[in-house]
């Protein structure tokens, strides 16, 4: 359903009235398209607070992949499409002044839909002064994202010990592009990873195979289409009842349709059989259901079905595919779908929130072991209010609250979840592991 309020507030009368009445004034977001693939509005400003602990020249090279002109000094007469502040060397409270001095002068010169990235270090448990200063960056960035306005976003990217700017290049490219339009206020940790040679940045999944569950419609369909755009051969999986829609999607994407109930006990074996012995490069767990009721009114069948589809089938299928060696060693990717409901909770969704919080637990626990034993990364997207047929059926006032209660004052689109999934899925994203990234426009609910 179209967001009529968004359209109205971007007309002359709408802007005037919403400003006079103090109503939200959402900015149309610049999302990626072949015609507008790069942020607009000026150069990328590369600043340093205190000193760099990741190598200034190496970071400059990584930033060059954004497609933006990189400058080291601000020009008060020039607007900026993005600013990256390197705070990896900040180890004391006094050095946080460099963060203020770097960003304060440029905030008024940021273009609409600009990007702000603070590059930090993982807090050191052996140095509480460094840990305090680096943790301070999280509160700073989350607050900055909420006050920046105008479709702008703010993120904190932390480099783990041993990680380099090159390890973070995939993440920096994503966050500095229109593909991250609905991702803001996030803290993303980058670990050390071996450089990947061969793939093309424009089609990183060429020659690779991806399987997307729940791909007959909605977010799953968008994820499948985006992975296909990036070069993947996509296996589209959904329940047999959706076989007609599934076949249509698979045909359009030149992929394969696999009608299968993911909760079937032999689902993993049937997936492996459908792959014909070839390893799977990307496994996207998108299938999910809701069976909402307050706990006092919830029957056991509603509880069981949601936990089975949304969580237990994900655990079971992932375990079996990993054990069978069905995910490509070294560059295999597992991407699961959590939800902001699993982080902040939601009335009438104790079953759904439990299942999605369980996905967060799965990712945090499995990621380091999967990387060590199988060379596979495990991450999750956590969508907020996304404009789908399901949310279109939500009562008007609840729907409007969902749209406005985030820093962008609007709902996200399925493509926003899909672009984040594609970033996780990229062979260049080996340094991204164990992360749960909210795609919610920086919702005002939850951390």
Q: Which residues are catalytic?
A: 352
Structure tokens at 232: 């993947």
DSSP string, 114-134: EEEEEEEE---TT-HHHHHHH
What is the H or E stretch that residue 190 is in? strand 186-190
Distance of CA 18 to the CA centre of its chain: 31
Tell me which residue of 267, 425, 437, 433 sits closest to 338, measured CA to CA: 437
Distance of CA 75 to the CA centre of its chain: 32
The answer to whether 296 and 350 are in contact (CB under 8 A) is no
Q: Please state, in angstroms and rounded to a whole number, the distance separating the CA atoms of residues 408 and 185.
A: 11
Q: What is the C-alpha radius of gyration for the chain, rounded to an integer number of angstroms?
A: 22
Place of tokens 């755009």: 229
- Is the sign of the CA dihedral 26, 27, 31, 35 positive or negative? positive
Q: Please report, for residues 55, 92, 383, 416, the alpha-carbon distance to residue 440 in angstroms, rounded to integers and kept in the order given.
A: 32, 32, 6, 9
Structure tokens at 323: 């054990």
- Is the sign of the CA dihedral 328, 329, 332, 337 positive or negative? positive
Tell me which residue of 283, 269, 266 sits closest to 366, measured CA to CA: 283
CB-based burial of residue 316 (10 Å sphere; 0-12 exposed, 13-18 middle, 19+ buried)? Answer: middle
Q: Please state, in angstroms and rounded to a whole number, the distance separating the CA atoms of residues 238 and 258.
A: 7
Other CB atoms closer than 10 Å to residue 54's CB: what's the count?
Answer: 21
């Amino acid at each position: 359903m179209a967001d009529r309020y968004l359209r109205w507030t971007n007309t002359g009368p709408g802007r005037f009235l919403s400003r006079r009445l103090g109503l939200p004034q959402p900015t149309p977001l610049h999302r990626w398209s072949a015609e507008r693939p790069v942020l607009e509005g000026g150069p990328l400003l590369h600043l340093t607070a205190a000193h760099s602990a990741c190598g200034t020249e190496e970071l400059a090279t990584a930033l060059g992949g954004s497609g933006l002109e990189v400058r080291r000094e601000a020009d008060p007469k020039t607007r900026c499409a993005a600013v990256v502040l390197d705070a990896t060397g900040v180890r004391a409270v006094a050095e946080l002044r460099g963060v203020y001095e770097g960003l304060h002068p440029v905030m008024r010169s940021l273009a609409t839909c600009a990007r702000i990235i603070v590059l930090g270090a993982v807090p050191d448990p052996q140095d509480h002064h460094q840990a305090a200063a680096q943790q301070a960056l999280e509160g700073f960035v989350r607050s900055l994202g909420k006050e920046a306005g105008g479709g702008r976003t703010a993120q904190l990217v932390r480099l783990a010990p041993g990680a380099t700017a090159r390890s973070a290049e995939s993440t920096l490219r994503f966050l500095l592009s229109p593909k991250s339009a609905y991702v803001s206020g996030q803290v993303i940790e980058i670990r050390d990873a071996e450089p990947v040679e061969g793939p093309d940045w424009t089609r990183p999944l060429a020659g690779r195979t991806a399987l997307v569950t729940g791909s007959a419609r909605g977010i799953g369909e968008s994820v499948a289409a985006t992975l296909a755009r990036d070069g993947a051969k996509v296996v589209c999986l959904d329940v047999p009842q959706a076989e007609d829609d599934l076949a249509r999607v698979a045909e359009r994407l030149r992929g394969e349709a696999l009608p299968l109930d993911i909760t079937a006990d032999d689902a993993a074996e049937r997936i492996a059989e459908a792959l014909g012995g070839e390893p799977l490069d990307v496994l996207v767990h998108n299938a999910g259901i809701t069976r909402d009721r307050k706990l006092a009114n919830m029957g056991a069948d509603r509880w069981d079905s949601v936990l089975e589809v949304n969580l237990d089938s994900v655990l079971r299928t992932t375990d079996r595919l990993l054990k069978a060696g069905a995910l490509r060693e070294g560059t295999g990717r597992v991407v699961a779908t959590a939800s902001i409901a699993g982080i902040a909770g939601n009335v009438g969704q104790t079953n759904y929130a439990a299942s999605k919080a369980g996905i967060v637990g799965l990712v945090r626990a499995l990621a380091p072991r999967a990387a060590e034993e199988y060379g596979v990364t495990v991450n999750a997207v956590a969508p907020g209010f996304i404009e789908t047929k399901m949310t279109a059926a939500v009562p008007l006032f609840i729907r409007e609250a969902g749209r406005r209660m985030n820093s962008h004052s609007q709902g996200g689109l399925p493509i926003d979840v899909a672009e984040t999934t594609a970033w996780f899925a990229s062979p260049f994203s080996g340094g991204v592991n164990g992360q749960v990234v909210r795609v919610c426009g920086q919702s005002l609910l939850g951390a």
